[in-house]
Amino acid sequence: MNFSAWSILNPIPAILLFAMLTFGGLLAFERLPVQYFPDMDLPRISISATLEGTAPTQLETEVARVIEDRLASLSNLDHIATTIADGTVSIDVTFELERNSDEVLNEVRNAVDSVKPDLPAQMQTPSVTKISMQSAPLVTYAVRSSSLNETELSWFVDNNMTKALLSVAGVGQVSRFGGIDREVHVDLDPGTMASLGVTAAAVSEQLKSVQADTSGGIGEIGGTRQTLRTLGAVASVENLKGLQIPLANGQQVRLDDVASVNDSFADRSSLAYLDGQPVIAVAVKRSNGFSDTGVAADVAKAMQQFAAEHPGVQIDEIYSRDVAILDSYQGSMHMLFEGGSWPSWSCGSSYGTGARRSYRPSHCRCPSYQPSSPCTSPTSVLISLPCLHCRWWSAYLSTMPSWRSRTSLAISRWANGRLMPPSKPPMRSG
């Protein structure tokens, strides 16, 4: 059955169907997420191993090569990228695209667990995670304050601001650039230690054993059960100075007698400047499966509320990928709306190979005159949006140029249309 002929004879069902699709498209268009590029579930795994106080050369020999040799035996492996810093090893493992990301995550985790006996005993179990966030920051803020020093402001960003940002749906990672990390320096005096018979290993072991809270189990007192804990962590630097270090002869000596204990900060690993002034930069990355514009709007709303609660801290937005995304998106939408508002008419010649031309209705003398419009391009996009919304798809800026080119082609046909006489029919023999 010819659906077009049936629709002409029964226009009401066709009109109702088109109206329903258009209404559903408008609702889906309002809820359609907008992203810069599509999210791809790449089989990419990250391995992180930490051993404080170890040189990079030692980590390369005892940690990185051991893990890499085991990972090299996995199937469909693309490449391995390893980054080694003081006390830290980061390994990015990428597989072929046909591999499932969850399967390779389990394979890499099993491979790392199998080489754990060959790793240094002091090292904790390396963490194996699947990379599920965007590599480029979505929003970057600059934080500064006239009432807080650099140490206090760095702690404010790590403790308060990071928690506020991670509470926003769609935020995958918050990174700080600039600022300092608080660190207590214990500088040993070799001369005093030699005279008292104290070794650096004894001081290190005492610090590790004391600076920790351990569980003591459960005790029954008066018919009730109570949990027990051993509190060994010191509360301040002054308490740490009074830590007792055992000597070989059974006596003890205070830590500040053999070392200089100072409340300081770690070596700087990054710097951030805004208009020539040092600031602390905070970069926000989006998780996969969320809209760029939606996450950026929620982050901006959360930061406005957070800044109102902390008036002593100045928070400035210095970069947002959302601006470029919205500019391109609004340009594409403007092109679609512009195409929908331009009327045109198509005329097809009834002679053999007909030519499509654009005319005004008063000038059209072709027998197969049919009105049409470039709005068929945005309308066809509109009625397809409910399907995209049901499949949880998004509008990507990489595909919007095709929308614009289709609409601009329809407009150019209307603008460049000229009245041309129909061609003569071909001569037939016989």
Q: Are 83 and 75 in contact (CB under 8 A)?
A: no
Q: What is the pLDDT of residue 381?
A: 60
The dihedral sign for the CA sequence 88, 241, 214, 208? positive
User: Is there a single domain that holds both residue 204 and residue 83?
Assistant: no
Q: What is the pLDDT of residue 370?
A: 42
Q: How far is CA 1 from CA 4, 12, 13, 43, 281, in A?
A: 9, 18, 16, 48, 65
Bridge partners of 310?
none
Q: What is the pLDDT of residue 47?
A: 92
Q: Is the pLDDT of residue 324 over 80?
A: no
Q: What is the pLDDT of residue 37?
A: 67
Unique residue bearing structure tokens 């085991």: 70
Mean pLDDT, rounded, for 71-80: 90
Q: What is the pLDDT of residue 194?
A: 84
What's the pLDDT band for 196 if we cut at 50, 70, 90? Answer: confident
User: Is there a single domain that holds both residue 370 and residue 223?
Assistant: no
Asked if residue 105 belongs to a domain, the reply is: yes
Give the tokens for residue 2. 């010819």
Q: What is the pLDDT of residue 298?
A: 92
User: Is there a single domain that holds both residue 175 and residue 274?
Assistant: yes
User: Is there a single domain that holds both residue 155 and residue 302?
Assistant: yes
User: Is there a single domain that holds both residue 272 and residue 386?
Assistant: no
Q: Looking at 135-260, list the stretches that DSSP marks H as alpha helix, in order from N- to C-terminal side.
A: 150-156, 162-166, 190-196, 200-210, 237-241, 255-258
Mean pLDDT, rounded, for 294-303: 91
Count of domains for the chain: 4
Task: Indicate which CATH number applies to the domain containing 114.
Answer: 3.30.70.1430
User: Is there a single domain that holds both residue 404 and residue 330?
Assistant: yes
Q: For the ranges 2-6, 144-148, 150-154, 269-273, which has the lowest average pLDDT?
A: 2-6
Q: What is the pLDDT of residue 125?
A: 86
Asked if residue 81 belongs to a domain, the reply is: yes
Q: Is the pLDDT of residue 373 over 70?
A: no
| Contacts of 110 by beta carbon, 8 Å cutoff, 6+ apart | none
Residue with more model confidence, 298 or 210: 298
Q: What is the pLDDT of residues 102-139, one digit of tens each?
A: 899 999 999 999 999 899 888 888 999 887 666 678 89
Q: For the ranges 94-98, 207-211, 269-273, which has the lowest average pLDDT?
A: 207-211
List, as one string, the DSSP characters of 51-81.
Answer: -TT--HHHHIIIIIHHHHHHHTTSTTEEEEE
What's the pLDDT band for 164 if we cut at 50, 70, 90? Answer: very high
User: Is there a single domain that holds both residue 171 and residue 275?
Assistant: yes
Question: Domain of 287?
Answer: 144-182+268-320
Mean pLDDT, rounded, for 65-82: 91
What's the pLDDT band for 365 if we cut at 50, 70, 90? Answer: very low
Q: What is the pLDDT of residue 212?
A: 64
